[in-house]
């Protein structure tokens, strides 16, 4: 249990970034335009909590860029530089919330909580879930400590790492398909059921100091692409990403991390050019493992790719981006990426036989 609220006043900063929780009808559809103050006014405040609002930007999260995310990362660090702040709540669109949460968590060194929340139903609707989610997020941010960055949604508390959007429209939008929730919140009570596993946090990258969502080109950021394997899949798109200047590629493989010999050959070519390649899977839950040759994970790892454990595509891409922002040298970036990926690996009986190896084992061997 990590509960710290002793009944004293808690000062929470709410950083508003847009999303459905701030979206109003525009005549043909919804778009984010409500201010943070407007959003906050819809929710009651937990007892003993005072709130300050920062309107950072206001976008539908499908339009989120790395410049937005790095600007938010900088704002979080600047906010926590004030020792009088007890925690942060970030209101965010659900489409890319999992990516932003993981980027923040990779760089979060403070015991004070950063909690992301949002809504599945727009601002001002009679059955909106935003007010309840915001109240719960404020409750968690004023109560817990030492858990890293969290996602609070529909009465559930999730660790940032591994948590993804699993439902397009339902209120319980988020989960980690490979492990149980971190805790729950309700009836003014926060129950934390386990301690999240996190790698050693990274320092704030230099790009975070200058990133500007209004002018993303002002600070060149490394290109990181996601390529999905499928039946009839070939290396064309992977090679095209390399030709377009990609410095990192996430290969979304089949099964426990499998593709084809031709794709494994293309991976080797990309790695030889200094491109970081990480392999995840289309399967919702479970770790990757070196089981198959013939273009499978055995061959992809031999070609220089790293397996992502239980991280799926969007968060794997954030891991590559973080490594590339921290290190310009490919060898050093690869070593850092290994450490970032060496998080919780949840073995499954079927994958623990036949000499198969998890992402952790591969990192240890390398």
- Residues classed as catalytic: 20
Locate 335 and state its tokens: 């070593």
* 358 phi, psi to nearest 5 deg: -85, 175
Q: Return d(Cα 117, Cα 354) in angstroms, integer.
A: 42
Classify strands 10-18 and 87-91 as parallel, antiparallel or unpaired: parallel
Helices (H) then strands (E): counts for the chain: 11, 16
Which residue's entry shows tokens 């899949």?
233
- Closest alpha carbon to 192 in 157, 221, 243, 226: 157
Longest dimension (CA), the chain: 62
Q: How many CA atoms lie within 13 A of 346 on its CB side?
A: 11
Q: Is 128 exposed, middle or buried (0-12, 13-18, 19+ CB in 10 A)?
A: middle
- Closest alpha carbon to 174 in 186, 187, 159: 159
Q: Return d(Cα 34, Cα 206) in angstroms, integer.
A: 31
> How far are the Cα atoms of 86, 101, 290 from residue 54, in angstroms, in the given order?
15, 18, 46
Locate 101 and state its tokens: 């949460």
Locate 136 and state its tokens: 């719960």
Q: Return d(Cα 322, Cα 336) in angstroms, integer.
A: 9
């Amino acid at each position: 249990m990590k509960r710290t609220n002793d009944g004293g006043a808690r000062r929470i900063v709410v950083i508003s970034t847009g999303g459905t929780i701030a979206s109003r009808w525009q005549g043909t559809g919804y778009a984010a335009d409500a201010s943070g103050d407007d959003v906050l006014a819809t929710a009651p405040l937990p007892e003993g909590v005072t709130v300050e609002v920062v309107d950072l930007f206001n976008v539908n999260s499908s339009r989120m860029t790395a410049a937005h995310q790095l600007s938010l990362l900088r704002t979080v660090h600047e906010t926590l530089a004030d020792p009088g702040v007890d925690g942060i709540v970030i209101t965010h669109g659900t489409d890319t919330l999992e990516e932003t949460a993981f980027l923040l968590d990779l760089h979060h060194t403070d015991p004070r909580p950063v909690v992301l929340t949002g809504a599945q139903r727009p601002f001002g609707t009679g059955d909106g879930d935003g007010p309840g989610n915001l109240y719960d997020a404020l409750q968690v941010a004023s109560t817990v400590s030492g858990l890293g960055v969290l996602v609070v949604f529909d009465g559930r508390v999730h660790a940032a790492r591994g948590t993804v959007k699993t439902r397009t429209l339902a209120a319980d939008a988020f989960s980690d398909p490979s492990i149980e929730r971190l805790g729950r919140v309700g009836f003014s009570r926060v129950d934390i059921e386990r301690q999240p596993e996190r790698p050693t946090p990274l320092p704030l990258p230099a790009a975070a100091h200058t990133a500007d969502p209004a002018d993303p080109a002002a600070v060149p950021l490394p290109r990181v692409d996601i390529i999905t394997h499928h039946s009839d899949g070939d290396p064309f798109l992977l090679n095209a990403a390399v030709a377009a200047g990609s410095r990192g590629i996430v290969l979304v493989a089949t099964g426990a991390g499998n593709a084809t010999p031709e794709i494994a050959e293309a991976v080797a070519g990309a790695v030889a050019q200094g491109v970081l390649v990480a392999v995840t899977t289309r399967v919702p839950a479970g770790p990757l493992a070196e089981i198959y040759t013939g273009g499978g994970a055995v061959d992809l790892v031999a070609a220089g790719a790293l397996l992502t454990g239980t991280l799926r595509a969007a968060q794997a891409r954030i891991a590559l981006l973080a490594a590339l922002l921290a290190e310009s040298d490919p060898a050093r970036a690869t070593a850092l990426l290994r450490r970032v990926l060496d998080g919780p690996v949840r073995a499954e009986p079927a994958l623990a036989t036949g000499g198969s190896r998890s992402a952790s084992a591969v990192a240890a061997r390398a």
